[in-house]
Structure 1
Amino acid sequence: MMICALVLAVNVLCDAPLDTRITALLPESEGTERLAHADARLGETFEQRFMLLVAAQNDLGAAEPDNQQLVNQLQQQLADSGVIDSFDSQTPPRPDQLLASYRYRLLTDELQQADAEQWRQRGLSRLFTPGIGASLATDPFGLLDAWLGERISGPVTWHQGGLSIDTSGGRWGLVSATLAGNPYDTSVQRALTDSVARFSDTHPEVQLLRAGLVFHAAAGAEQAKREITTIGLGSLLGIIALLALVFRRPVVLATLLLPVATGLVFATALTWLLFGSLNLITLAFGASLIGISVDYALHLQCTRQLHPERPLSRLWPGLTLGLISSLCAYLVQLATPMPGLRQMATFAALGLIGAWLSVRLWLPLLPVHPHPATGAIAMRLNHLRLKRPHPSLYLAAGLILMAAIGVTISQGSTRHDPRQLNPSPASLVEQQQRVQALLEQPASFRYLLVSADSSDRLLERLEALDAQLGKLENDGHLSFYQHLAQAVPSAKTQQANLDRVRQAYAEALPRLLESAKLPVELMPKLMTKLDAVPTLTPETWLTSRAGESDRALWLQNVDTPGALVMIGDIDATAAEALNALAQAPGVIYRDRVQSLSDQLAGLSSEILQWLGLALALLALTFGWRYRRRAWRVLLPPVGAVIITLGIFAASHTGLTLFHLLGLLLVLGIGLDAGIFSTEHPADPAAWLAISLSCASSLLAFGLLAFSATPALHFLGTTCLIGLVATWCLVPLSRGVDPNHRSHCGPVNSTRRPLQHEKE
């Protein structure tokens, strides 16, 4: 414990990293190395970036047209926070300058299909329309303007040196930046959110929209810290009040809390050491350990309080078996591919081991301080048991269990959408969605991964997808799609465009010069511009400022060149079409949300199999130890699991992975109750300890039902129902009072068990 305390102190003093990612609860990315690389590339692109939209409102609630001064103030405050690596330039990237020399190889679909007369009319219109500034010498038909208008246009415009978005409701000023640190770093989150909050407080009339992972991570971290304080502290205070009421001795209360402190220090230090960082959700979950780690001390103290003369050797077998069964319930989570759950399972297991060791090694050395009230409470509580055989009660319990099984089979359902695990406030999610809608950006969780043996062949494959994707978009089945070939055509397409431009110049340019009353001698000079036209390459485009937003779409640092086609919202028709496209060699359709959902479903099935295996092994173990009494051990945990499943099915609550993990916890805690009620069926001390254990566990795990973090809420709701059911089933497990009367004093530890008690 001294070593663990030292490790914990060093981590705290050295500001060791605390992980705030809710995504740590999700499965690690599965699939090919290329998919993993694509996911990582998207993460690198989007994780450290954030955007803020600012709109000043007038007295009528409409957005003011000029908000650049506000944008500058906000930008300065963010710069002063010290966590900004760079701001996006407030001046246009000028793709026209970059693409000027490539203009003759960049041809819109409309100009490709136009005839010579349409080309002539376009040239005349540009020459004689004020404000266009057409250049007869370089681009008489406006090829570059047409290309930029069709392929590289977007909602972001530049006004008075700043980025903005014009909508029907007014103008939004845009601040877009890259963080200097990790978005999961709490110091980065705090500095950024404090700067934004100060700006909002200073300008209450300003409407501000936030978008970026860092804001969601900050909200999750704040929520986790808040729940550590409320749930953990509430659990601790509730358990202290409960134990103080029963034992009435500060010394006894201290001895009961000693295993709690031991378990938490043991678990926190070693988990931090093993994983290198500690997730705040693990701490929130670990704060609930105080409800179960105190169980071992409860059984020891209840036995010593009511039976000070009884040797503790009778207690250790049940206590050891209880630890093993609880560890089984937690350590099953180590088989999951989710690092967050593995960390939580490790934390819980180490905490239980630390608490058990302190109970086994330290507490027996402390003096006993019985209080009369403890025995009185135990005797009154012991009345809650069967005084005589009640076959009808067992029949009713059996019918309830059969009904729960029937409802579960007929109406039970599951939910495995990972979006339900998002703990972000609804207002922040709504802001993110509004920003994405204003920027016309597709969701980054759905894409096609296309591969080819060369960069140019890859561009050709991307172009081949345009026919089907464009039709889906035009028919309303697909909201948006984006790929690099929309900005950089393949060499084959660029050559075809150049050939078409030469043909159009030969056919339309003489007519244009004639109509404009310009000398025909200009013809050779204009045609010479088409002789040596360079080919635009992906490298040229992506290394420029104009191509920054497309860099995540091009995967070149892998064995085979690859590119992403980002996909927006889709319906069932588009989903079917995308899956059909993915049947072609070198094309993979990736819906990361659906993929995670499938993984969660598979993981749930795997946990159910582990649960079945654990029950089978425990049934064999208990059958070997308890013979015909084995059903008494299994009734509280298994019955509680069945009843909980039945209630969820009847209420049409879809089971998630975290409901199943809660069932594992119910099984582990219920096994303790079953073991001790079978080991000591007539002992009021055992019943008192079981009741206190269920109550303390309810305070610990049941309080998680009020967590705003969905994963912990599902876990807590399951434990709340399951632990109540466990406590209600223990009297049936204990059986009939062998003395047929309430005990008024300690049970004689030398009394021989009656025959029916053995059974």
Structure 2
Amino acid sequence: MRRAWIAVLFTLLIYSGARFFNGNAMQTSLFAMFPSQTQTVALDIALQHASSIFEHDLVVVIESEQKQRALSAAQLFVELEGTLEGIRLIDAQQHIELFKQLSSYRQQLLIQQDVDLINSGNSSELTLQTLKRLYSPAGMVGSSLELDPWLTFERFLLQRINDQNFNYQNGYLLGNQDGKTQVFIQLELLNSAYSSDSIDDISVLESVLAELEQKFDVDVYRAGAGFHSTSAMQLATTEISVIGGGALLMIIVIVLWLFAHPKPLFMTTLSIFSGVLLGLSVTLLWFGEIHVMSLVMGSSLIGLSFDYAFHYLSYQNSVVSPVERATVGQKLRPALLLGMFSSVIAYSCLFFANLPVLNQMAVFSVFGLFGALATVLLIYPQFSPLNDQTRTIRLANNLSQFAVQVFKPKLLFVVVTGYLLLAAFAVMVGHTNDDVRILQSPDARLVAEEAYIQHLLNRQSGSDWVITIGKNAEQVAQHEELLIAQLDNLIIQHKLTAYTAATQWIPSQERQLANWHSYQALLAQQAELLALKVGMSSVPSGVPYDPMGQLEALPLVSKLTGQLDDGRYFSLLLLQGLTGEFDEGLLLQDQYYLNYVNDIGLMLGEYRRNVTQLLAIAIVSVMFAMSIYFGFKNLLRLMISPLLAVMIAAALPAAFGLPLTLFNVLGLFLIFGIGIDYSIFLLCHGRSAHTILAVFIAGLSSLLSFGLMALSSNYAISSFGLTVGLGILSSWLVAPLVFVKEKDDV
């Protein structure tokens, strides 16, 4: 059996290593945490497509008071950027290519104001605008006059790219605001912004930008999801190194001090590694991938596997009799199995939550605990006890005597009363927070830089979308255009800043044909007059009508549109700078408004309530299972400590004004699992010095491992750590009050 378990672990190590080496095992996207089928079709589409629309876009702005210095820095940047394989420069030539493709359809691309002038018989206004432009200092070149005599195509482009305050020079888009010159450089990530390859490329890009700032004394500003994902990864790496590394170092010091030998440290590490390996491998086999949040939280949940190792090591190295040493596994097996079984029941309830990340956590935790305990029961017996156990035995006896003297059962009444009063106060003042943005900890510098770029471009970000669904692409486009007419009124009323839609660039065929007919009317009304006044060699003429399709130089349209599995088509429209509530009365029957930040927040709130119900079910299920083994007489004492720990962990943060989140509730699962473990071992071995020692070490290590998570800059992780830390501290202190005088071997 032992050899078979070693073979299983070796096989799983090869499998999981190969999956991670191929780069298709880890999922980091925030939206991958949520189910594919949500409350509405519109929200489901947004979760699948909206998050990736601008995911690959990067913007870099180089700013200086000296124009030439900014241009020189931009030139060097372009040369250095060419060495990055995963980042592509979108230069002026690509914009020119887009303009060329659109120019072929110029007579069917008109802004609504021009159409209204033509259809109302006021087309002479367009001729007058051409004459003013022709004799202005800017003038018009001959080719422009020939292709776009009434500047209708130019106005179409300017209205969409909104760069009237910018100009192209030496292949760069230049701005001049606040007495400084800005060079705007657009970049595109060839891979996902959350992939390791892109993060590596952006890290190199950041070093290039830092070099430019120092060499040319310019200011550099960045915007794009890639910069945020790289910053988040660097922050996470730092926190893992500082918080995780610090906790691990202190645990190593404690274990080495207690046992005065590296063997127990190796054994503890081996059991935890086995648990993580089995949990990770089964999750990959079950789901095909694992979300980074499932990996972090799942690893935390199986952190109570520390207890299994410490109970075994404490027993093995705290007894003197060789006979007792030889029967450690047999002696502890019932309590170890009961502890694991109770935790498995609790964590399995997470599998019934309709949330992929929680389902992965359930599988990871359940199999992780099994893997850790299997190593303790199958591999640990092969390790001989330490030769010199004097320190361990002395400490175990001292702790046992201290516990009997200090932890008086009469204090339990005082503790329970205090907990109930605190819980009552927390219920009165407590509140919840389900905002999805608590899952992120954005870099303040990047947020400020992004806001400045939006200021320069006179744009605002937004998370408000309108989804249009129809039986074919033409119907979708027509319905979206009807909505756009309403949105233009909102812009006039200053209730909306702008919007981004596919039909801004590729109108419906109905609109294209109507525009083309309007242009033909303009030719009939004004062509000869314009040719006469300007002195053109030939009269402007029309081009044949040619319906537009997808343009290779315009990938934004393909990102905003698509086809559903049921054959219907959809289009996404992004609202920017929306003030107040959106009037959904403006929408047609197959149009849906959503703010995915708010909608996901509502989802998180629903999951928080569902997980709270699952926690209650888990507690009742464990109570039922434990009553079968221990009987109802011991059930109350068994549950006092974990229930009080859950109570205080939920109540104390609320009493201090901190909100209750989904991650606080997830922490309660871990607290209950650890608390029930302490209770089971103390109920089975309450008088044994080795049990007091094991609970002491396990509690201290858990406090270090999870309590330090409260120092994380990520609110979700810090709230999880704070909740778990408080709960573990409670279990650590309350459990001895209940069981310290319990007889051995119940």
Q: Same fold (TM over 0.5)?
A: yes
Distance 2:534 2:561 in 1: 48
1:719 aligns with 2:721: no
Kindly provide the amino acid, as one letter, of the partner of residue 86 in structure 2.
V
Residue among 706, 715, 719 paired with 2:711: 706
Kindly provide the amino acid, as one letter, of the partner of residue 722 in structure 1.
G
Deviation at 1:730, TM superposition (A): 1.2
1:391-540 matched pairs, under 5 angstroms: 393-440=411-458, 443=461, 445-494=463-512, 496-497=514-515, 516=533, 526=539, 529=541, 533-534=544-545, 537-539=547-549
Structure-2-length-normalised TM-score: 0.85
Q: Is the 8 A contact 1:394 1:732 kept in 2?
A: yes
Of 233-242 and 271-280, the range deviating more from structure 2: 271-280
Deviation at 1:21, TM superposition (A): 1.5
1:296 aligns with 2:313: no
Kindly provide the amino acid, as one letter, of the partner of residue 183 in structure 1.
A
1:614 and 1:533, CA in 2 relative to 1: closer, same or farther beyond 3 A? same
Kindly provide the amino acid, as one letter, of the partner of residue 333 in structure 2.
W
Q: Is the 8 A contact 2:91 2:171 kept in 1?
A: no
1:92 and 1:623, CA in 2 relative to 1: closer, same or farther beyond 3 A? closer
Query: Deviations 1:539-568 (Å, cap 9, x if unpaired)?
Result: 1xx4153x4443323335762232222111
Distance 1:495 1:328 in 2: 65
Residue among 551, 554, 566 paired with 2:561: 554
Structure-1-length-normalised TM-score: 0.84
Kindly provide the amino acid, as one letter, of the partner of residue 559 in structure 2.
A
Question: What residue number does 1:741 align with?
Answer: none
Larger-Rg structure: 1
Residue among 323, 348, 362 paired with 1:331: 348
Kindly provide the amino acid, as one letter, of the partner of residue 378 in structure 1.
A
Question: What residue number does 1:636 align with?
Answer: 641
Q: Is the 8 A contact 1:232 1:700 kept in 2?
A: yes
1:178 aligns with 2:195: no
Distance 1:47 1:180 in 2: 10
Unpaired runs of at least 5, structure 1: 739-746, 754-759
Deviation at 1:8, TM superposition (A): 2.5
Match of 1:663, SS state, is helix
Question: What residue number does 1:359 align with?
Answer: 376
Distance 2:702 2:262 in 1: 21
Question: What residue number does 2:233 align with?
Answer: 221
Distance 2:692 2:350 in 1: 30
Question: What residue number does 1:588 align with?
Answer: 592
Distance 2:37 2:454 in 1: 27
Aligned residues: 721
Query: Deviations 1:513-558 (Å, cap 9, x if unpaired)?
Result: 89x5989xx9xx85x835x6525x341xx4153x444332333576
Q: Is the 8 A contact 1:450 1:586 kept in 2?
A: yes
Match of 2:660, SS state, is coil
Kindly provide the amino acid, as one letter, of the partner of residue 545 in structure 2.
P
Kindly provide the amino acid, as one letter, of the partner of residue 641 in structure 1.
V
Question: What residue number does 1:604 align with?
Answer: 608
1:508 and 1:188, CA in 2 relative to 1: closer, same or farther beyond 3 A? closer
1:133 and 1:233, CA in 2 relative to 1: closer, same or farther beyond 3 A? closer
1:384 and 1:120, CA in 2 relative to 1: closer, same or farther beyond 3 A? same
Deviation at 1:639, TM superposition (A): 0.2
1:457 and 1:63, CA in 2 relative to 1: closer, same or farther beyond 3 A? farther
Distance 1:250 1:496 in 2: 82
Distance 2:596 2:471 in 1: 26
1:145 and 1:9, CA in 2 relative to 1: closer, same or farther beyond 3 A? closer
Kindly provide the amino acid, as one letter, of the partner of residue 30 in structure 2.
T
Match of 2:338, SS state, is helix
Query: Deviations 1:462-503 (Å, cap 9, x if unpaired)?
Result: 222134322322333222212233344445445555665666
1:78 aligns with 2:55: no
1:256-267 matched pairs, under 5 angstroms: 256-267=268-279
Deviation at 1:723, TM superposition (A): 0.8
Of 80-89 and 595-604, the range deviating more from structure 2: 80-89
Q: Is the 8 A contact 1:19 1:184 kept in 2?
A: no
Deviation at 1:233, TM superposition (A): 3.0
Q: Is the 8 A contact 1:404 1:645 kept in 2?
A: no
Deviation at 1:109, TM superposition (A): 1.5
Kindly provide the amino acid, as one letter, of the partner of residue 190 in structure 2.
A
Deviation at 1:254, TM superposition (A): 4.3
Question: What residue number does 1:571 align with?
Answer: 579
Q: Is the 8 A contact 2:477 2:503 kept in 1?
A: yes
Query: Deviations 1:17-65 (Å, cap 9, x if unpaired)?
Result: 263625277323433667545544445543333232222x3xxxx3636
Question: What residue number does 2:332 align with?
Answer: 315
Distance 2:519 2:568 in 1: 34
Deviation at 1:345, TM superposition (A): 4.2
Residue among 12, 21, 27 paired with 1:15: 21
Q: Is the 8 A contact 2:59 2:184 kept in 1?
A: yes
Question: What residue number does 2:201 align with?
Answer: 191
Distance 1:297 1:410 in 2: 41
Distance 2:62 2:627 in 1: 69
Q: Is the 8 A contact 2:92 2:171 kept in 1?
A: no
Match of 1:565, SS state, is strand
Match of 1:54, SS state, is strand
Kindly provide the amino acid, as one letter, of the partner of residue 347 in structure 2.
Y
Residue among 655, 669, 675 paired with 1:670: 675
Q: Is the 8 A contact 2:318 2:393 kept in 1?
A: yes
Distance 2:232 2:158 in 1: 41
1:189 and 1:256, CA in 2 relative to 1: closer, same or farther beyond 3 A? closer
Residue among 719, 724, 733 paired with 1:728: 733
Q: Is the 8 A contact 1:291 1:698 kept in 2?
A: no
1:504 and 1:352, CA in 2 relative to 1: closer, same or farther beyond 3 A? closer
Question: What residue number does 1:757 align with?
Answer: none
Question: What residue number does 1:158 align with?
Answer: 168
1:212 and 1:342, CA in 2 relative to 1: closer, same or farther beyond 3 A? farther
Query: Deviations 1:199-226 (Å, cap 9, x if unpaired)?
Result: 4235412322223333233233333333
Question: What residue number does 2:3 align with?
Answer: none
Q: Is the 8 A contact 2:73 2:212 kept in 1?
A: no
Deviation at 1:149, TM superposition (A): 3.8
Kindly provide the amino acid, as one letter, of the partner of residue 241 in structure 1.
V
Match of 1:618, SS state, is helix
Match of 1:654, SS state, is coil
Question: What residue number does 2:690 align with?
Answer: 685
Match of 2:60, SS state, is strand
Of 446-455 and 280-289, the range deviating more from structure 2: 280-289
Unpaired runs of at least 5, structure 2: 1-5
1:16 and 1:552, CA in 2 relative to 1: closer, same or farther beyond 3 A? closer
1:177 and 1:338, CA in 2 relative to 1: closer, same or farther beyond 3 A? farther
Q: Is the 8 A contact 2:663 2:717 kept in 1?
A: yes
Of 287-296 and 660-669, the range deviating more from structure 2: 287-296
1:79 and 1:385, CA in 2 relative to 1: closer, same or farther beyond 3 A? same
Kindly provide the amino acid, as one letter, of the partner of residue 425 in structure 1.
D
1:18-97 matched pairs, under 5 angstroms: 19=26, 21=28, 23=30, 26-31=33-38, 36-37=44-45, 39-55=47-63, 57=64, 62=65, 64=67, 67-85=70-88, 87-90=90-93, 92-93=95-96, 95=99
Residue among 238, 246, 271 paired with 1:234: 246
1:116-135 matched pairs, under 5 angstroms: 116=122, 118=125, 121-122=128-129, 124-126=131-133, 128-129=135-136, 131-133=138-140
Question: What residue number does 1:543 align with?
Answer: 551
Q: Is the 8 A contact 2:347 2:362 kept in 1?
A: yes
Distance 1:556 1:506 in 2: 40
Distance 1:217 1:143 in 2: 41
Query: Deviations 1:91-149 (Å, cap 9, x if unpaired)?
Result: 64263773366437625426624764645644553454454338787765443344344
Kindly provide the amino acid, as one letter, of the partner of residue 340 in structure 2.
L
Match of 1:571, SS state, is coil
Q: Is the 8 A contact 1:104 1:143 kept in 2?
A: no
